[in-house]
């Protein structure tokens, strides 16, 4: 038999129909072309055959790989940075968030959390804080742009358009630290049905009201007609053909059929079914907070370092440290120093608490996973967003707080922006304390990107090598460049022989003219 390789799907075959065809194909001896041809009429018939097939093989027999065959392109627009971070928090995710370098920001383009509207006083504090930050951002960005261009004039034979873009990006990279986490952004993604199902369930389990609302909107989009820029044109032209004089019945019937074939349809109306909030996750988080309060001393949170590395630890100790890390603001080192001396019985009790609410379809918490290299990172939220995109890492991020203080862009002082930036951050810190005392969610959305967030990154040495090469070099943001260097530097304490071969670039190679 002759080898055959060809693409399937596309025109008039939405993701769920493609998944149906490929799933039937895997359960037959026929070529894919015949399988898809035979199922064409079933798709046009309203999809009942697909629903019955999914009901048996996916929902009853548990063949979840069927949902992997349906890939959906989706735009998630005008959500806060908080929600965007949660949306992209999937290991098996393909997509991009809009770069903040290319957006225009204003106080109107900021999400207002639902709890804010319930209090007139809180509304005033929140709106005033947002307006203050946006005004300070605009002023700082304008001043920095002038300074950047004054100190880095247009070189001879350098394209003026590229120069303006590069200097504008550098000024923004420093000023963006003032943007609040409620700032609106957008995400474009292509994900499988299974990933979508997990994503929606995870987002429904989130503590923040907007994130839960985004979960509902994503689920609704799975069951709503797909946008296609050609759909309206196709239907309009077909209607024109239908109204032409002297059109016989056969032609009219053919046009009607084409209208039905080419009409917009929902991408995955049946496959996205199990999207309820994750009871296992939510109940476990609450129990772990109680355990942390009971067994961990109330010491001062350590915010004195940016990166600390740990090699292979005892698997049980590592798992217990990580689950407690995720529900506190302590450093991994602070927790490890306590947990390492706990008796085996207590360690086992904590691990059991992290698994006892697990249902038959729940995966273990990601914080129970263990790796050969652990990096505890404390950095500005803006830079964290870039590291968050590394899918080959196991990540556990702590909740947002202003306890760790804020970071400062390495070049801010040299361009005269340090004093106005610090004044703005110190001013908003006082506002955050007042808002936090009333509502935590409101404080989080008001918090600027310059505040630090602590997150644990577990990975292989291959991934650290990739990060070291990708995140250092001309055109990179200095915020994550310096952290990438520190990650390699700290890892060198564990294995200097391996770390010395990671091809990082020093900060001295930075250039305003490259981006």
* Tens-digit pLDDT profile for residues 435-449: 999 999 999 999 999
Q: What pLDDT, in 10s, does the model give residues 343-392?
A: 999 999 999 999 999 999 899 999 999 999 999 999 999 999 999 999 99
Query: Given a cut of 80, is residue 102 above it in pLDDT?
Result: no
In this prediction, residues 292-300 reach a mean pLDDT of: 95
Residue 388's H or E segment, with its range, is none
pLDDT of residue 413: 98
- Per-residue DSSP letter, 300: P
Whether 447 and 407 have beta carbons less than 8 Å apart is answered as no
pLDDT of residue 36: 86
In this prediction, residues 454-462 reach a mean pLDDT of: 98
Query: Given a cut of 70, is residue 189 above it in pLDDT?
Result: yes
Domain edges within the chain:
15-69, 231-262, 279-415+449-509
pLDDT of residue 62: 63
Sheet holding 394-397, edge to edge: 307-310, 373-380, 452-459, 394-397
Q: What gap in Å lies between CA 515 and CA 513, rounded to an integer?
A: 7
β-strand pairing of 373-380 with 307-310: antiparallel
* Burial group, residue 289, by CB count within 10 angstroms (0-12, 13-18, 19+): middle
SS (HEC) of 143-190: HHHHHHHHHCCCCCCCCHHHHHHHHHHHHHHHHHHHCECCEEEEEEEE
- CATH class of the region 279-415+449-509: alpha beta
pLDDT of residue 46: 67
Q: What is the dihedral of CA 342, 347, 348, 349, to 10 degrees?
A: 100
Q: For residue 73, give the 3-state DSSP assignment.
A: strand
pLDDT of residue 60: 66
pLDDT cut 70: percent of the chain above it: 98
β-strand pairing of 373-380 with 452-459: antiparallel
Whether 228 and 75 have beta carbons less than 8 Å apart is answered as no
Whether 85 and 385 have beta carbons less than 8 Å apart is answered as yes
pLDDT of residue 262: 85
Query: Given a cut of 90, is residue 7 above it in pLDDT?
Result: no
> Of the candidates 26, 70, 30, which has an alpha carbon nearest to the alpha carbon of residue 47?
70
Which of 39-43, 117-121, 194-198, 420-424 is predicted with the least confidence, judged by mean pLDDT? 39-43
pLDDT of residue 49: 78
Which residues make Cβ contacts (< 8 Å) with residue 128, sequence separation at least 6? 431
In this prediction, residues 267-275 reach a mean pLDDT of: 89
In this prediction, residues 215-232 reach a mean pLDDT of: 91
Higher pLDDT, 129 or 106: 129
DSSP string covering 379-420, please? EEHHHHHHHTT-TTSEEEEPPP-STT-B---TTTGGGT-HHH
In this prediction, residues 117-145 reach a mean pLDDT of: 97
2-14 core/surface letters (b: 16 or more CB in 10 A; e: else): eeeeeeebeeebb
Residue 32's H or E segment, with its range, is helix 32-44
pLDDT of residue 58: 66
pLDDT of residue 463: 97
Q: What pLDDT, in 10s, does the model give residues 44-99?
A: 776 777 788 888 776 665 667 888 888 999 999 999 999 999 999 999 999 999 88
């Amino acid at each position: 038999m002759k080898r055959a390789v060809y693409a399937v799907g596309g025109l008039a075959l939405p993701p769920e129909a493609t998944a149906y065809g490929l799933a039937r194909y895997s359960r037959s001896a026929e070529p894919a072309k015949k399988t898809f041809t035979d199922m064409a009429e079933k798709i046009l018939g309203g999809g009942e055959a697909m629903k019955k097939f999914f009901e048996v093989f996916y929902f009853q027999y548990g063949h979840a790989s069927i949902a992997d065959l349906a890939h959906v392109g989706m735009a998630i627009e005008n959500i806060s940075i908080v929600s965007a971070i949660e949306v992209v928090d999937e290991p098996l995710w393909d997509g991009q968030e809009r770069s903040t370098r290319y957006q225009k920001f204003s106080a109107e383009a900021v999400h207002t959390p639902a709890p804010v509207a319930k209090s007139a006083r809180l509304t005033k504090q929140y709106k005033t804080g947002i307006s203050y930050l946006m005004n300070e951002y605009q002023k700082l960005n304008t001043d920095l742009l002038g300074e950047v261009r004054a100190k880095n004039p247009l070189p001879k034979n350098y394209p003026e358009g590229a120069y303006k873009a590069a200097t504008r990006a550098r000024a923004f990279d420093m000023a963006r630290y003032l943007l609040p986490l409620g700032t609106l952004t957008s995400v474009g993604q292509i994900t499988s049905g299974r990933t979508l199902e997990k994503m929606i369930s995870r987002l429904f389990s989130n503590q923040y009201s907007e994130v839960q609302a985004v979960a509902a909107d994503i689920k609704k989009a799975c069951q709503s007609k797909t946008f296609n820029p050609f759909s309206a044109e196709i239907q309009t032209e077909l209607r024109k053909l239908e109204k032409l004089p002297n059109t016989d019945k056969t032609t009219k019937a053919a046009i009607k059929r084409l209208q039905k074939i080419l009409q917009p349809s929902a991408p995955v109306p049946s496959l996205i079914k199990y999207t309820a909030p994750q009871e296992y996750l939510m109940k476990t988080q609450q129990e772990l907070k109680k355990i942390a309060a009971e067994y961990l001393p109330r010491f001062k949170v350590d915010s004195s370092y940016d990166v600390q590395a740990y090699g292979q630890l005892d698997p049980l100790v590592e798992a217990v440290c990580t689950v407690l890390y995720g529900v506190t603001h302590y450093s991994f080192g602070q927790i490890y120093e306590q947990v390492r001396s706990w008796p085996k019985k207590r360690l086992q009790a904590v691990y059991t608490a992290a698994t006892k609410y697990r249902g038959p379809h729940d995966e273990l918490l990601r914080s129970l996973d263990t790796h050969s290299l652990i990096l505890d990172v404390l950095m500005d939220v803006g830079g964290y967003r870039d590291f968050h995109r590394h899918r080959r890492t196991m990540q556990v991020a702590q909740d947002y707080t202003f306890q760790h203080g804020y970071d400062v862009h390495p070049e801010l002082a040299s361009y005269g922006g340090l004093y106005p930036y610090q004044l703005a951050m110190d001013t908003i810190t006082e506002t955050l304390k007042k808002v936090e005392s009333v509502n935590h969610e409101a404080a989080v959305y008001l918090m600027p990107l310059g505040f630090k967030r602590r997150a644990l990154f577990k990975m292989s040495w291959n991934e650290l090598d990739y990060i070291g090469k990708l995140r250092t070099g001309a055109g990179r943001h200095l915020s994550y460049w310096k952290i990438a260097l520190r990650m390699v530097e700290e890892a060198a304490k564990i294995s200097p022989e391996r770390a010395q071969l990671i091809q990082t670039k020093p900060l001295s190679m930075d250039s305003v003219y490259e981006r």
